[in-house]
Amino acid sequence: MEQFVTAANSIMWSLPMVVGLLALGLYFTIRMAAPQVRLLKDMVGQLVRGGSSSAGISSFQAFAMALGGRIGVGNIAGVAAAIYLGGPGALFWMWVTAILGAPVALVESSLAQLYKHKVRGEYRGGPAYYILEGLGRNWRWLAVAYAAATVFATVFTGPQIQANAVTAATTEAWGWDPLWVGLGMAVLFCVIVFGGMHRLGRTVGLVVPFMAGAYILVGLVVVAVMWQEVPAMFSLIFTSAFAADSVYAGMLGAAIAWGVRRAVYSTEIGTGSSGQAPAAARAYHPVE
């Protein structure tokens, strides 16, 4: 199993995949005239427009649901891993990937809205739907493969990574028993998820803004406390990102590769999973 995972990982995160993702983001940025900058005001406005319905959740709830998956282990432990394996320059390439990847996320979410279906009275959508209907029945195998991979990732690998990070942190900080922490998270998870899409939407709509705000606030506090190191930090990031720093001269490829990898894990761009929450939103136009 370890050999299989290692081999699959080397293929999926190969240099062509990294370059292809950046190229795709650049293409959509140019093709849509930099919507991540040009339409920023509209993006904020869309969050407060339109309410929920019996079949769908509100735009803000969908945004919070997607954001809940983006702010977490990937943004904390993932950044540390990127710096460790790719040097400080990996941070720069994480920024680049996030900026160029924004239009990719917009396309994924728009396609999810365009091809969404009402299943048992609630909206459902995502890559499995738009692969099947957008590319045609000949690509049914890919839609099925994506759906199976998504089920595996969201049931097994994803929750394990998140739960492990939480239990490790609480055990190290306060000595809490990992078993009880894990059981507590499982009970909360079941109460929320088995309450249906609307309970999930209401919960993330209340919790995620505070979680995101606290995350940003703590980051700003750290920057304020270490303000004298900020100029040197940016200098080190930029010089190592382009191999201008002799210490990191041989790590340019690793900086780009690990920066892109961790950014993708943190933001979910290109994976398709970022489109599933927006598919549940009630919208009058797919791009909304």
Which residues, in sequence order, are CB contacts of 206 under 8 Å at separation 6+? none
Answer yes or no: are the C-beta atoms of 25 and 100 closer than 8 Å.
yes
Residue 238 has pLDDT above 80, yes or no: yes
123-153 pLDDT per residue, tens: 888 999 999 999 988 999 999 999 999 888 8
Angle between helix 127-135 and helix 140-152 axes, rounded to 10 deg: 180
User: Which residue in this structure is represented by tokens 């920023």?
Assistant: 40
For residue range 186-230, list pLDDT tens digits in order.
999 899 888 888 888 889 888 888 888 898 899 999 999 999 999
Count the neighbouring beta carbons within 10 Å of the beta carbon of residue 74: 22
Is pLDDT at 54 greater than 70 in this prediction? Answer: no
pLDDT at 271: 83
The pLDDT of residue 52 is 62
Radius of gyration for the chain, computed over Cα atoms and rounded to the nearest angstrom: 20
Task: Say what the pLDDT of residue 53 is.
Answer: 67
